[in-house]
């Protein structure tokens, strides 16, 4: 059921902190403590290095690909307090925009759904979240900052899908409401909504008992309109669901053996990948009764997905 497509020896001189494949599944970007970002061509099982991006002066924590309609853009964030957006031109990536308005390590970057235009959210250890929007008329980037989004620091950001089954009038960009979820060192998961020119805190979800390490807003297909997964230093993964976007219910997926670092939804939102400090990856799926089941045991035997 699961097969390995590629194994790429990235040649990073230090630990890899993030890896992501682009929209079409053709290119892989990785980032590492050796301050570099590397891009590989993985088409048809290849492992050719396209470019090695050196521009950060500290470990690079996370990367994000943009939707291809904006060109091949790659955003990276680092311990050096910077966010760099790289653009591919003639097979080489060059620095397209650099954002250095954070006072501490930038831990998370994610591009918004393409329906909103070219928009990037960044969460930093200085406690703030920046939302960078590209203004195509002036070819400039506009930065909005949510100050003090999380006391101590913000660890993760994730955008809500632009189109949900209830949003009804889709394709009408003016009516779409931008939402994002963030997690931080104050043990909170917060939902933000853009109102006119400001970002307001819509909801504050409080169950975790330690730093929230990652949040992921699920593409909403299925029973609930909104689903968010969050994971924390408290070794738990929590699934938050809401039918109306105001009242959120929490379900503890599982308490793991070690700190959980990472949650990721599949494109159609039915499988959740969880990984953490114990170096293991598990996949979870919800059955029709609404219970979460680990499906990676199936995977283990065939695909060796557990990084063993």
Partner 1 sequence: MAATWNNEYYIALEGRDLQANAMAVDNSGTYVLLAGRRYIAIRNLDEDLEVVQKFPRQSKYDVGAAEWNPTNHNRELCVISSNQRLEVLTWRSQELIQTHSLRAHTRVITDLNWHRSDPSLLASCSVDTFIHIWDLRDARRPSLSLSAIAEASQVRWNKISSHLLATAHDGDIKIWDQRKGTAPVQYVAAHLSKIHGLDWNPNVETQLATSSQDNTVKFFDMNNPRRAEYVLTTNAPVWRARFTPFGNGLVTVVVPQLRRGENSLLLWNTANRSTPMHTFVGHRDVVLEFEWRKQRAGSLDFQLITWSKDQTLLVWKIEPFLQKLCGHEPDETREEIAISNESSEVVKIKKKTSPKIQPLQQEFSLLNVHIPNLEVTAMDPVNRTCTVFANVYNFSVYLQVSFPNAYPHGVPPTFQILHNSSVTEAAGAQLLQTLNHLAQQRVSKNRTCLESCLRQMVTTLEQLSADSENDRIFDNSYTEPNVFGGYNDAYIPFPRTSGAKFCSVGILVCFGRAPHTRRFSGKVEATTPRALSALETVFSKRSSDHVTVSAYYYQKQRLRVKQHSRNASKAIVHVYDVSGLLLTNRQLAEEYILDGDIATICKHNAASAAVVGRWDLVQAWTLAELIACTRNKDEEWYNHPFGNQLSEALISHYAQHSDIQMAAMLSCIFGKNEVNSSHQSKKSLKYTNDTSPYHAIPPMDLPSDEWVFPTLKHMRSTSLDNLRLNEIKNLLPKKNPSSSLHEYFKLSYAETLHRWGFLYNRAEVLKYMCGPPDKHEGVEFFTHCKNCLKPDLYGKHCTCSNCKKFSLNCIICHLSVRGSANCCIVCGHGGHTKHLKQWFEKRDVCPSGCGCRCLTETATIFAT
Out of 101, 133, 250, 262, point to the residue binding partner 1 (CB under 8 A).
262
Q: Does 11 bind partner 1 (CB under 8 A)?
A: yes
For the bound state, the minimum distance from the C-beta of residue 87 to partner 1, rounded and expressed in Å, comes to 19
Q: Does 101 bind partner 1 (CB under 8 A)?
A: no
Q: Does 155 bind partner 1 (CB under 8 A)?
A: yes
Out of 23, 177, 204, 293, point to the residue binding partner 1 (CB under 8 A).
23
For the bound state, the minimum distance from the C-beta of residue 21 to partner 1, rounded and expressed in Å, comes to 4
Q: Which of residues 190-209 bind partner 1 (CB under 8 A)?
A: none
Contact partners, residue 174, CB within 8 Å, separation at least 6: none
Out of 135, 151, 177, 252, point to the residue binding partner 1 (CB under 8 A).
151
Beta strand pairing call for 140-146 and 271-276: unpaired
Out of 50, 143, 294, 295, point to the residue binding partner 1 (CB under 8 A).
295
Residue 127 to residue 113: CA distance in whole angstroms: 24
Out of 198, 223, 252, 293, point to the residue binding partner 1 (CB under 8 A).
223
Residue 44 to residue 50: CA distance in whole angstroms: 15
Residue 80 to residue 220: CA distance in whole angstroms: 35
Task: Characterize 132-142 residue by residue with b for buried, 16 or more Cβ atoms within 10 angstroms of its Cβ, and e for exposed.
Answer: bbbeeeeeebe
Q: Does 277 bind partner 1 (CB under 8 A)?
A: yes
Residue 243 to residue 82: CA distance in whole angstroms: 37
Q: Does 117 bind partner 1 (CB under 8 A)?
A: no
Looking at the Cβ atoms of 197 and 267, the one nearer to partner 1 is 267
Residue 301, classed as helix, strand or coil, is helix
Q: Does 55 bind partner 1 (CB under 8 A)?
A: no
Q: How far apart are the first and last CA of the chain?
A: 18
DSSP E strand stretches across 33-138: 36-41, 48-54, 60-65, 73-78, 83-89, 92-99, 106-111, 119-124, 129-135
Q: Does 28 bind partner 1 (CB under 8 A)?
A: yes
Q: Does 107 bind partner 1 (CB under 8 A)?
A: yes
Out of 89, 166, 209, 255, point to the residue binding partner 1 (CB under 8 A).
166
Out of 66, 77, 79, 129, point to the residue binding partner 1 (CB under 8 A).
79
């Amino acid at each position: 059921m699961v097969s390995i497509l590629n194994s790429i020896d990235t040649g990073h001189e230090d630990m890899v902190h993030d890896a992501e494949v682009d929209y079409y599944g053709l290119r892989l970007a990785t980032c590492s403590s050796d301050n570099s970002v590397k891009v590989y061509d993985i088409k048809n099982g290849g492992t050719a290095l396209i470019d090695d991006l050196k521009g950060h002066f500290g470990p690079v924590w996370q990367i994000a690909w943009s939707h291809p309609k904006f060109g091949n853009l790659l955003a990276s964030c680092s311990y050096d307090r910077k966010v760099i957006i790289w653009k591919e031109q003639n097979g080489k990536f060059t620095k397209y925009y650099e954002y250095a308005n954070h006072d501490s390590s930038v831990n998370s970057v994610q591009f918004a759904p393409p329906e909103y235009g070219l928009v990037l959210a960044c969460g930093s250890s200085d406690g703030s979240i920046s939302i960078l929007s590209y203004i195509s008329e002036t070819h400039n980037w506009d930065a909005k900052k949510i100050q003090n989004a999380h006391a101590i620091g913000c660890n993760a950001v994730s955008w809500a899908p632009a189109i949900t089954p209830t949003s009804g009038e889709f394709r009408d960009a003016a009516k779409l409401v931008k939402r994002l979820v963030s997690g931080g060192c104050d043990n909170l998961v917060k939902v933000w909504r853009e109102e006119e020119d400001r970002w307001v805190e819509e909801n504050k979800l409080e169950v975790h008992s330690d730093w929230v390490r990652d949040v992921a807003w699920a593409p909403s297909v299925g029973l609930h309109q909104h689903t968010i997964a969050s994971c924390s230093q408290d070794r738990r993964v929590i699934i938050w669901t809401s039918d109306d976007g105001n009242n959120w219910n929490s379900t503890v997926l599982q308490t793991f053996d070690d700190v959980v670092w990472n949650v990721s939804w599949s494109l159609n939102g039915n499988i959740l990948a969880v990984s953490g400090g114990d170096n293991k990856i598990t996949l979870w799926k919800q059955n029709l009764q609404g219970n979460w089941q680990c499906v990676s045991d199936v995977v283990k035997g065939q695909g060796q997905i557990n990084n063993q």
